[in-house]
Amino acid sequence: MRIFEPTMIQQIDIFIHTLLLSAQSQNPVNMTEKLKRLGIDTVSLLAFGYPLNTQVDPKYQFLIDAHTFGNYRVNLFMQFPLLKKIRIYNFLEVFFAKEVRRYFTTIENMIASRVAEDKHVRHDLYSIVADEMNSDGEQYLKDSKIWAEAGFFFPAGGETSSTLLAAAFFYLSRNLSAYDSLAREIRSSFQAGNEIKAGPILASCKYLRACLDETMRMSPPAPGTLWRELSPKDTSTEPWIVDGHIIPPGVQVGVNTYATHHNEEIFPDSFEFKPECWNNSNLSQDQKALMNAAFQPFSIGTRSCAGKAMAYLQSSIALAKTIWYFDFQAASGNLGKLGGGSPSLGKGREREGEYQLYEILSSTHDGPNLVFQSRVDVIGEISN
């Protein structure tokens, strides 16, 4: 993480520059679009040192929609495994043959160009796992573990962080008290934007971390149920018991992340954005322990997200730098309502102050639309 951080910050600085252009034109910014580009550009460099440059060049922006479509497919197979067995996707793929070929060609070129280089030419994921994943050097690329991991790494590494940040911008733009508290913390902790990086100062920004945690509590980037079942290799003679129920082999069980995060017995007023609850000294130790145990946006156990540290670091730096350089607010009129709930969306989606996620294994979303204003006393740091 320490070695990769300069590359991460470079991509965040590009993101900041795109916001500056929007601030100068006073055009509303759809944060989902901006943040997904930041996410995929960062993860492509982390994985294979490959510059997609989607933040400034439209050439590879189609990959973002391709990954979303791929997540729909994977989620469909996870919820209905029979559909995979009957190979219905092979039939559907005919209608998207051109787009599918374009996507796979790009991923293949990306991996092949990295494999052609010395594995230690740069510090990326490939340099760490190359020997383990493709030790014989003879595997057909699309049958290799590297290919399989790339298919997972891009949506898992890029889209989840972009969802976290999009939701955070949504909640901050609609909760002015939280916005003001975060702005005071960031603008009093640092002396210049280039100081915003991993270290003791960023770690001391407790309200920043609380804003991210509260965002993931209300709108977890992976909001669905992560199913589990007893392994076929389990040789234990003891039954698997969950809450007093014996779970037979082959039966899947799971606890829905979104439902857990909105359990009123653990998180009172669970549909209100209250970052201060994470730093509330008046809470008992038992209540704090219960909240921390129930808060699991990265899952738990052996399947816990390996990118947790990266997600926190990237999101912390991106949000802190944005707050340092800009003020922002929701766009006016109906444009500014994008991302929020509405009675017209149906039961459970009527809350205007809740960022709307749609589960596709990870999640898809749209908005918020924000208008940015440069902070006059600091914007000179980046205007050139």
d(CA 353, CA 357): 13
**Is the pLDDT higher at 247 or at 69?**
247
CATH assignment, 5-222+255-381 = 1.10.630.10
Strands ordered across the beta sheet of 326-330:
29-30, 369-374, 326-330
Would you say 177 and 207 are in contact if contact means Cβ atoms under 8 Å apart?
A: no
Q: In this structure, what token pair is assigned to residue 192?
A: 């210049």
Would you say 73 and 89 are in contact if contact means Cβ atoms under 8 Å apart?
A: yes
d(CA 121, CA 114): 9
Q: Residues 226-243, buried b or exposed e (16+ Cβ, 10 A)? A: bebebeeeeeeeeebeee
Task: Give the start-to-end residue ranges of the domains of the chain.
Answer: 5-222+255-381, 223-254
Average pLDDT value for the chain: 88
Q: Is 305 annotated as a binding residue?
A: yes
Q: What is the pLDDT of residue 218?
A: 97
The residues with which 371 forms a beta bridge, in sequence order, are 329
Cβ within 8 Å of residue 147, ≥6 positions away:
107, 111, 141
Q: What is the pLDDT of residue 238?
A: 86
d(CA 224, CA 61): 27
- Compute the C-alpha angle 154/303/209, nearest 5°: 75
Q: What is the pLDDT of residue 237?
A: 83
In tens, the pLDDT along 190-212 reads 999 999 999 999 999 999 999 99
In tens, the pLDDT along 108-132 reads 888 888 888 888 888 787 777 777 6
Q: In this structure, what token pair is assigned to residue 339?
A: 């991302």
The closest of 319, 369, 44 to 207, measured between CA atoms, is 319
- The CA distances from residue 118 to 133, 181, 221, in Å, are 15, 48, 35
Please check the confidence at residue 136 and state whether its pLDDT lies above 60.
no
Q: What is the pLDDT of residue 143?
A: 57
- φ and ψ at 275, to 5 degrees? -60, -30
Would you say 369 and 336 are in contact if contact means Cβ atoms under 8 Å apart?
A: yes
Q: What is the pLDDT of residue 144?
A: 64
In tens, the pLDDT along 304-350 reads 887 888 899 999 999 999 999 999 999 999 999 999 999 999 999 99
pLDDT band at 135 (very low <50, low <70, confident <90, very high): very low
Q: Which residue type is seen at 24?
A: Q
Q: Residues 139-177, buried b or exposed e (16+ Cβ, 10 A)? A: eeeeebebbebbbebbbbbbbbbbbbbbbbbbbbbbbee
d(CA 168, CA 9): 19
The pTM is what? 0.91
Cβ within 8 Å of residue 42, ≥6 positions away:
7, 8, 11, 157, 158, 161, 314
Please check the confidence at residue 228 and state whether its pLDDT lies above 80.
yes
In tens, the pLDDT along 286-300 reads 999 999 999 999 988
- The CA distances from residue 23 to 20, 193, 224, 333, 336, in Å, are 5, 17, 36, 18, 16
d(CA 136, CA 115): 13
